[in-house]
Amino acid sequence: MKQKLILAGLLAGSAALTSMAQTDALRFNPDNYIRQSLTMPDGREVSYKAYEGIYYVTNIEDSVYQTLNIYVPDRLANIPRVPVLLRTYVGGYAASTAKSPSASDATGRALSEGYVVCIPGSRGSNSTVERDGSVIYTGIAPNGLLDLKAAVRYLRYNDDAIPGSSELIFTDGTSAGGAMSSLLGATGNSKDYAESLRKMGAADVRDDVFAAICYCPITDLNHADMEYEWLYGCTNTGVRHLSEDQIVISDELAAECPAYINSLGLTKPDGTLLTADNYKEYLKGFLIESAHRALQEGCEIPDSIGFKFYQDKMEPMGAGPGGPIPAGEQRPPFGDGRQAPSFGPGNAPRFNKTSDFVTGLDLDKYLAYVASVTPLKTPPAFDQMGVLIETPSPENKVFGNKNGDAANFTDFSLRHRLHDSKAKLSADMTRRVALMNPMNYIGNGSAKVAPNWYIRHGAKDRDTSFLVPVNLATKLMNAGKNVDFALPWNRPHSGDYNLDDLFRWIASTIQ
Ligand code: DHB
């Protein structure tokens, strides 16, 4: 090893020396594993080789978190290129250790499908090390993302030695982890992260991925507050019970949202511009599609939460498929060949069943229902520190500094905290915030964006505005990506559900 380094240094100078040293330290050892197994919910036993505690950078700052685990099933899928599921367990923008697979989530399922699984740890808002007697916060943004990108690079760097194909990496995460997954999908090979990754000693290879699976991504953080208030403002004096001060903040934030929506320049599937004026109709399409699917699957949807059903429309008009209903007769049966209109983009299911179907939605009523199930966040929902309360949110913490001081990440909240209407984020904070927003990298050629996306946000998930996943999915569709997007019925803030659907989708992308 030493001789090799000297030789390399003599031959090609110090750059080559660094990369040779790094090269060896990042080499995967195929013999260094233990055997493990999982019992799946159906009783099947899945056995695999477990390669655990692998450092994915050479300049390790935080040895607790900067490691990854790789799991290789004994029965690898019998296909030419085997996918690798890279599952992050980041939650709340906190640090996450490299975990073991679980029979109840996508990791166990992936192993049972014969896919390789990688579970990286990553630094986050609460990870610290002690240096020269001081506590250093190691995981301030964008360090957690850099760690995950380094993990992707490790897989690609060792593609020849690790079973599975690094050209078929599927990232998967929920909530802040969903945000990380969306960032991994959106920022492939972007030069914005290159220098930091080099300093960390990440492998010097590409970090784009094949697919991103994002459950309820808590992202677009610098617009999430206005998106929340613009959507949920209708509940302020009702179910949300805001104080007068809170209503002032809510209204100020909501007022900023239309300009943001219009600035995105997004288009609907029919090619027309998506604007603040038609946005709510567009959003309703996704919720109505969700309700359609739920009805098809046999769910009952109460009459009281805003959806309008076929009968509602028929009865007052007195007109059914066969024309007006004669007095005293029953209304005609459904399932008579008429189909519900197709709502939402993509392939909304065509409804042709003997049951009701949804014809409309009172959005304000539905939003009040969502707010009644789980109390809404108070404004500002994300950059909250110093506006009406002092408590930092998870996002204030992750945008904090190395000493552990939380920080604002929007001009809006900074101005309120400092009582200075001209205050502005520092250039460094603006840069960090931009690095954490996948919307900045889609559709402008600045990164290699994953070609495949699976995005889910529960239809009763209030942790962020529906606008966040809807804008992300729409921007990706506009950029020509293969996007499977839905707001699944009755789902709260959660992830890795409906694994049959997810793994059908995964299979469809690798055909
Ligand atoms: C998570 C949830 C939130 O509501 C939030 O603001 C940030 C992170 C999470 O569950 O990861």
Q: Mapping DSSP to helix (H, G, I), strand (E, B) and coil, where does residue 68 land?
A: strand
Would you place residue 338 in the very low, low, confident or very high pLDDT band (cuts 50, 70, 90)? very low
Report the pLDDT value the prediction gives residue 333, as an integer from 0 to 100.
32
Tokens describing residue 254: 């909501």
CB contact at 8 A, 408 and 386: yes
Report the pLDDT value the prediction gives residue 323, as an integer from 0 to 100.
36
DSSP assignment of 71-130 equals EEESS--SSSS--EEEE----TT--BPPPPP-TTSHHHHHHHTT-EEEEE-B--TT-EEE
Number of Cβ within 10 Å of residue 264's Cβ equals 18
Residue 262 has pLDDT above 60, yes or no: yes
Tokens describing residue 104: 């109840």
Which pairing describes strands 134-137 and 319-320: parallel, antiparallel, or unpaired?
A: unpaired
d(CA 396, CA 237): 27
Rounded to the nearest angstrom, the gap between the alpha carbon of residue 88 and the centroid of all alpha carbons in its chain is 11
End-to-end CA, the chain: 43
Out of 180, 214, 218, mutate this one to test ligand 1's pocket (max ligand atoms within 8 Å of CB): namely: 218
Report the pLDDT value the prediction gives residue 296, as an integer from 0 to 100.
82
Report the pLDDT value the prediction gives residue 342, as an integer from 0 to 100.
31
Angle at 16 between CA 12 and CA 20, to 5 degrees: 130
CB contact at 8 A, 473 and 453: yes
Contact 461 CB / ligand 1 (< 6 Å): no
Q: State which H helix or E strand residue 476 sits in.
A: helix 467-478
- Tell how far the Cα of 216 is from the centroid of ligand 1, in angstroms: 9
Which class for 41: exposed (0-12), middle (13-18), buried (19 or more C-beta within 10 A)? exposed
For the chain, give the longest Cα–Cα distance: 98
Residue 345 has pLDDT above 50, yes or no: no
Residue 13 has pLDDT above 60, yes or no: no
pLDDT digits (tens, 9 = 90+) for 198-227: 999 999 999 999 999 999 999 999 999 999
Would you place residue 2 in the very low, low, confident or very high pLDDT band (cuts 50, 70, 90)? very low
Q: What is the mean pLDDT of residues 180-205?
A: 98
- Provide the mean pLDDT of the chain: 89
Q: What is the mean pLDDT of residues 100-104?
A: 98
Would you place residue 300 in the very low, low, confident or very high pLDDT band (cuts 50, 70, 90)? confident
Percent of the chain with pLDDT over 90: 83
Q: Would you call the peptide bond into 142 cis, given omega within 30 degrees of 0 as the criterion?
A: yes
Q: What is the mean pLDDT of residues 104-130?
A: 98
- Tell how far the Cα of 462 is from the centroid of ligand 1, in angstroms: 10
Closest residue to atom 7 of ligand 1, CA basis: 92
pLDDT digits (tens, 9 = 90+) for 351-361: 333 346 788 99
Q: What is the mean pLDDT of residues 482-491?
A: 97
Residue written as token pair 């539905």: 366
Tokens describing residue 377: 């966040």
Q: Contacts for 263-272 with beta carbons within 8 Å, 24 or more apart? A: 264/439, 264/471, 264/475, 266/471, 266/474, 266/475, 266/478, 267/474, 267/478, 268/345, 268/474, 269/345, 269/346, 269/477
- Percentages helix, strand, coil for the chain (3-state, rounded to 5) are 40, 15, 45
pLDDT digits (tens, 9 = 90+) for 21-56: 555 899 999 999 999 999 999 999 999 999 999 999
Which pairing describes strands 358-361 and 307-309: parallel, antiparallel, or unpaired?
A: antiparallel
Contact 108 CB / ligand 1 (< 6 Å): no
Q: What is the mean pLDDT of residues 356-374?
A: 93
Tokens describing residue 457: 């946000």
Q: What is the mean pLDDT of residues 286-311?
A: 88
Report the pLDDT value the prediction gives residue 20, as an integer from 0 to 100.
55
Contact 176 CB / ligand 1 (< 6 Å): yes
Residue 341 has pLDDT above 80, yes or no: no
CB contact at 8 A, 172 and 85: yes
d(CA 26, CA 18): 12
Identify the CA nearest to 110 among candidates 508, 510, 507, 509: 507
Strand partners, 482: 452
- Tell how far the Cα of 12 is from the centroid of ligand 1, in angstroms: 48
The count of C-alpha atoms lying within 13 angstroms of the C-alpha of 111, restricted to the half-sphere facing its C-beta, is 29
Q: Mapping DSSP to helix (H, G, I), strand (E, B) and coil, where does residue 329 land?
A: coil
Report the pLDDT value the prediction gives residue 19, as an integer from 0 to 100.
55
Contact 394 CB / ligand 1 (< 6 Å): yes
* Phi-psi label, residue 419: left if phi above 0, alpha if psi -120 to 50, beta otherwise: left
Residue 340 has pLDDT above 80, yes or no: no
Out of 88, 122, 175, 376, mutate this one to test ligand 1's pocket (max ligand atoms within 8 Å of CB): namely: 175
Residue 280 has pLDDT above 80, yes or no: yes
d(CA 407, CA 300): 45
Integer-rounded Cα radius of gyration of the chain: 25
Q: Which atom belonging to ligand 1 lies closest to the Cα atom of 174?
A: 11
Would you place residue 315 in the very low, low, confident or very high pLDDT band (cuts 50, 70, 90)? very low
Residue 8 has pLDDT above 70, yes or no: no
Q: Mapping DSSP to helix (H, G, I), strand (E, B) and coil, where does residue 71 land?
A: strand
Residue 175 one-letter amino acid: S
Residue 480 has pLDDT above 80, yes or no: yes
Would you place residue 303 in the very low, low, confident or very high pLDDT band (cuts 50, 70, 90)? confident
Would you place residue 297 in the very low, low, confident or very high pLDDT band (cuts 50, 70, 90)? confident
CB contact at 8 A, 122 and 90: yes
Contact 175 CB / ligand 1 (< 6 Å): yes
